[in-house]
Amino acid sequence: MSVQGFELIETRELDELNSTGRVYRHATGARIVSIANPQDENKVFGITFRTPPTDSTGLPHILEHSVLCGSQKFPVKEPFVELLKGSLKTFLNAFTYPDKTCYPVASQSEQDFYNLVDVYLDAVFHPRLTPDVLKQEGWHYEVEEDGTLTYKGVVFNEMKGENSSPERVMAELCQQILFPDTTYGVDSGGHPQAIPDLTWEQFEEFHKDYYHPSNAWIWFYGDDPEDRRLAILDEYLSGFEPRQIDSNVARQPRWTQPRSVQETYSVSDQDTDDDGGKSMIAVNWLLGEPVDYETRLGLQILDYILIGTSASPMRKALIDSGLGEDLCGGGMETELREIFFSVGLKGVAEVDEARVESLVIETLQRLAKDGIDIETIRASLNTVEFRLRENNTGSYPRGLILMLRSLARSLYDEDPFVPLGFEKPLAAVKARAEDGSGYFEGLIRDHLLANSHRATVFLRPDAEHDAREEQVETERLAAARATMSEDEVIQLRNDAQRLKELQEAPDQPKDLAKIPRLKRGDLEPKIRVVPIEQTTVAGAPVWYHDLFTNGIVYLDVGFDLRTVPQQLLPYLSLFGRCLFEIGTEAEDFVRLSQRIGSRTGGMWAHTLVTPQRHSRDALARFQVRGRAMLNQMPDLIDILRDVLLTVNLDNRERFLQMVLEEKAGEEAGLIPGGHSVVGLRLRSQFDEAAWVTEQMEGVSYLFFLRSLVDQIENDWAGVLAQLQAVRDHIVQRSTILVNATLPDADRAQLEPHLAKLIEDLPAGDGKQAVWTPSYQSGHEGLTLPAQVNYVGKGVNLYDTGYTLHGSVGVITRTLRNGYLWDRVRVQGGAYGAFCSFDHFSGLISFGSYRDPNIADTLAVYDGAGDFLTSLELNDDELTKGIIGAIGELDSYQLPDAKGYTSMVRNLIGVDDAYRQKMRDEVLSTTAKDFRVFGEALSGLAAAGRVVVLGSKEGIEAANAEREEKLEVLAVL
């Protein structure tokens, strides 16, 4: 194959991927990696530029947002949003890394895929960058009524949110401290204090310099024809001349002495009083740039050996020390030019800070000297090998993960295919691990212990932190204001007004029509069906899904959760962890963990709690999941039996460790996951499923964990009795349901083992407990030290007269990608806003993410009903909504997810007839459906409940302004 302008550099068979890879060079210097995989319909394209920043203004990040705000061929405000609204995309996003910016898209439909590619290529090469775009996405001044200035901007606010999370601050510090002399020494995302330094000239220049084919790495993957790939590229690349571009990432000069740094993070006053504060400490090493892939793989496996499971020796030493609550540090970071390793503890008292660093180093010394348990090494090797072979990327397209893996080397001009193959390096590492030469111990010595390029980061709580940052900002704004003439202030007001008008002005229909899109007739009218056969084994229900799984068995073993008394519900997550992380009567948890690691592809427990179709009661099940190669399956089932029947719950010390980890995890999740916290808390006021989940995962669970710490101390016997009661209620044959995803031909091998497991379980009577949820009434303001808010509001639409219709999927998408996006994100400056509707409970809930506002956002939600009833919906917009909703229904799933989804649907009464009816209703949605829904939604303003998570000051200010008062509850 030859297309003018492209030189084929290399063709390689990629056995591990069942694919053929080709590398092309375009005349402009653009590097193209083209992977043909006829078995994968989930096609992926990505274009990446090397974008090393020189300061922390967030320039690459703001540019990433901005190029998606309209381009030459697609002159609308946000083509990206038009694609979100009306494509079958299975992935559509952009990422800024410390040294690169990636623009990936994916779709299962070839035409849709090329539509996405077209819009993305035009966006990156021909964006309509204007000072207004920089203002909107980056930063600008706004003049308040009293004449003072404030900063506004999407990225400005996004990074304020990011910097409210101590975990993110820590991760950024660990990287920056190790690389002070390179581009990795600054924040590519942008620090709120530095973002306002960015000028339009720098912004425009950066795009000109770096968004050029000579600085581009392009990726195609999937089952589409390769000549079509080159043809579309040619359209864009041929307009450019090759150019010399200096975007090299320098290597960091080495230190001869370790360093350390101390910083503070924000906490509320009460936090620092109670236990003297909680520091985070991480020890970091710069490992450099090993050229051979074997060493790189070896280091990744070493990472898993040291901290991959709760039984891993480094993790265990840190947790056993009792110095902190949970690990911090990101482990082995391999996506930048040079590898670094980071490990430490969070939740550390100030007096213990120094001991963390010495403990990390002593542990490494001990492992290097005494050797690592060979069973731990084997378990880690098996786990990593299983993951490489399974290549289970969850909801991410496989081709995207492969692209990122390849870029981790090709961006520095190395072979793009080497990181995609693993057989050879894996075989070499396995051989070395078993040859008695102490391979991993050697890696510890050479790359960590003998490495003086080490830095320890201390991040300490400080109740004054926020006030100090605010003062810096206020003074800076005041100084800027002082230099302005009255005319300039008037100009600023006018600018802000003009920006607002631009944001509010609708795109021209003729411009919107330029965005390429499928037609309604291109959509598949029939639902996709997952095979299921419902049978019984040893008297118990077993559901099979006959799918190709590449030799793997996916097993879900579930029990009824409604047998568990209400007051025990908060124990469920801990009980699930106990099964695999506390040990059995015969094995301590290290041995058990080694057995799981070396004989399976992983096992864990979780709860499945959801509203259902034919009942007002929640479906509630306790699920154990496991995956293994077919020949490992008897081991998997043996382990299941051992943990279910002989888990050794009486281990106070280990249980306390898990409770502290859970608590630290819940606390760390409050800021990055604030929208989920708010959403769950809100829904828990309306339906049983959410109420139960809130007890097990929400703010109520966090409060439970805090009191449990004392209870373990004072009344272990009482806690143990509760845990044992949970097990006795859960583990019974009478409520078991097994779900297995594997090819029919392999069933015969599974069944005898399954039958034995089922027979060994205690019979039980399946007696149901009575749950009496105490639904909150009123509105809540949950406070924590953050500079952003998460604002939620919801109402039950079945109470306000709505009857379920499939069109609701189209309508909520339209609200999300249009109404809410424009008002809460673009105009309000929040990072995002959502709404979702539950078919079975009837609850519609709205939520915002990293939001500078509260009252304004709530007013937007309240206006949604009127917006829908008065909406003049043209056919074009309606079609977009329908395409997007179908895309959501047909989201891409790997076999394990298909089997699981099918099980859930069958449990909650969602049959194929129902799904087809909903799909038909999506496809035949009309403008009238929008009005009917809008009328029901008008009830939100008066009848809705509000939950906000945010700063105390923000919530108090909202209370002063609004009639619906938020009841204040401090969570952090």
By CB under 5 A, name the binding residues for Zn ion: 158
Minimum Å gap between C-beta 155 and Zn ion is 6
Burial of 864 (0-12, 13-18, 19+ CB in 10 A): buried
Between 99 and 158, whose beta carbon lies closer to Zn ion? 158
DSSP tag of 505: S
Q: Are strands 945-950 and 779-783 parallel, antiparallel or unpaired?
A: parallel
667 is catalytic: no
Minimum Å gap between C-beta 65 and Zn ion is 6
Compute the distance between CA of residue 510 and CA of residue 529 in angstroms, rounded to an integer: 38
Compute the distance between CA of residue 514 and CA of residue 206 in angstroms, rounded to an integer: 28
Compute the distance between CA of residue 104 and CA of residue 676 in angstroms, rounded to an integer: 26
Q: For residues 660 and 709, is the Cβ–Cβ distance under 8 A?
A: yes
Q: How far is CA 500 from the centre of its chain?
A: 31
Q: For residues 552 and 601, is the Cβ–Cβ distance under 8 A?
A: yes
Helix (H), strand (E) at residue 970: strand 966-970
Compute the distance between CA of residue 843 and CA of residue 616 in angstroms, rounded to an integer: 13
Q: For residues 60 and 68, is the Cβ–Cβ distance under 8 A?
A: no
Minimum Å gap between C-beta 314 and Zn ion is 33
Active-site choice (78, 82, 137, 338) = 137
Measured distance between the N- and C-terminal CA atoms of the chain, rounded to whole angstroms: 61
Compute the distance between CA of residue 958 and CA of residue 952 in angstroms, rounded to an integer: 10
Minimum Å gap between C-beta 811 and Zn ion is 27
HSE-CB for 522 with a 13 A CA cutoff: 17
Minimum Å gap between C-beta 135 and Zn ion is 16
Compute the distance between CA of residue 303 and CA of residue 317 in angstroms, rounded to an integer: 15
- The secondary structure of the chain in percent helix, strand, coil, rounded to multiples of 5, reads 50, 20, 30
Between 154 and 955, whose beta carbon lies closer to Zn ion? 154
Between 99 and 560, whose beta carbon lies closer to Zn ion? 99
Minimum Å gap between C-beta 93 and Zn ion is 10
Between 158 and 187, whose beta carbon lies closer to Zn ion? 158
Q: Are strands 95-96 and 100-107 parallel, antiparallel or unpaired?
A: antiparallel
Between 66 and 383, whose beta carbon lies closer to Zn ion? 66
Between 52 and 934, whose beta carbon lies closer to Zn ion? 52
Between 155 and 280, whose beta carbon lies closer to Zn ion? 155
Residue nearest to Zn ion (CB): 158
Compute the distance between CA of residue 474 and CA of residue 486 in angstroms, rounded to an integer: 19
Minimum Å gap between C-beta 234 and Zn ion is 31
Compute the distance between CA of residue 571 and CA of residue 573 in angstroms, rounded to an integer: 6
Active-site choice (7, 10, 41, 64) = 64
Minimum Å gap between C-beta 51 and Zn ion is 14
Helices within 715-817 (DSSP H only) = 716-730, 747-760, 808-814
Between 64 and 929, whose beta carbon lies closer to Zn ion? 64
Q: For residues 929 and 807, is the Cβ–Cβ distance under 8 A?
A: yes
Minimum Å gap between C-beta 80 and Zn ion is 12
64 is catalytic: yes
Q: For residues 398 and 222, is the Cβ–Cβ distance under 8 A?
A: no
Helices within 226-373 (DSSP H only) = 226-237, 269-275, 293-307, 313-320, 353-370
Between 828 and 865, whose beta carbon lies closer to Zn ion? 828
Q: Which residues pair with 71 in a beta bridge?
A: 127
By annotation, the residues acting in catalysis are 64, 137
